Amino acid sequence: MEALLTKSFPTLIVAMGGALGASGRFWVREYLPSITGTEFPFSTLLVNVCGCFLSGLVYMWLQSSGNIWSTEKVLFFFVGFLGAFTTFSAFALDSFLLFQQQQLFKLAVNVAGNCLLCLLCVFVGAAVGAKIGSN
């Protein structure tokens, strides 16, 4: 039983952070269009930009200040909260780390791969879904 609790604990921490991140994204999605008065997807842009800013801010604050977060805090904030608020923040932080490590080829592959492949997959997925739905 103890082993089950030990293995389940990180999942629960991620789930709690994820619940807050997903709720935050939902509220931005619900209320921002009434504030902006436009059909443009500002809510997606806002959560991606804010999530990326928070990702970089907290990561570099921890690195430069010498503060060390416990594994639980990292899981809660980066994986749970930011992961549910925006997965783009994980992509952006990965890209930043590759840049910081001067892995420029890997950085270019990561950026191009994520942007191009993800867009391509949305179009392909939409085409497949339309095909399945029309049968």
Q: Is 97 found in the same domain as 43? A: yes
Q: Which two tokens stand for residue 33?
A: 């269009």
Taking the C-alpha atoms of residue 50 and residue 25, their distance in angstroms, rounded to an integer, is 11
Q: Is 83 found in the same domain as 29? A: yes
Q: Give me the domain span that covers residue 110.
A: 103-135
Q: Determine how many CB atoms are found less than 10 A away from the CB of residue 25.
A: 20
Predicted structure pTM score:
0.75
Q: Do residues 110 and 94 make contact, with C-beta atoms less than 8 angstroms apart?
A: yes
Band the pLDDT of 3: cuts 50, 70, 90: low
Q: Is 107 found in the same domain as 96? A: no
- How many domains does the chain contain in total? 2
Mean of pLDDT values over 111-119: 89
pLDDT of residue 1: 52
Q: Is 71 found in the same domain as 24? A: yes
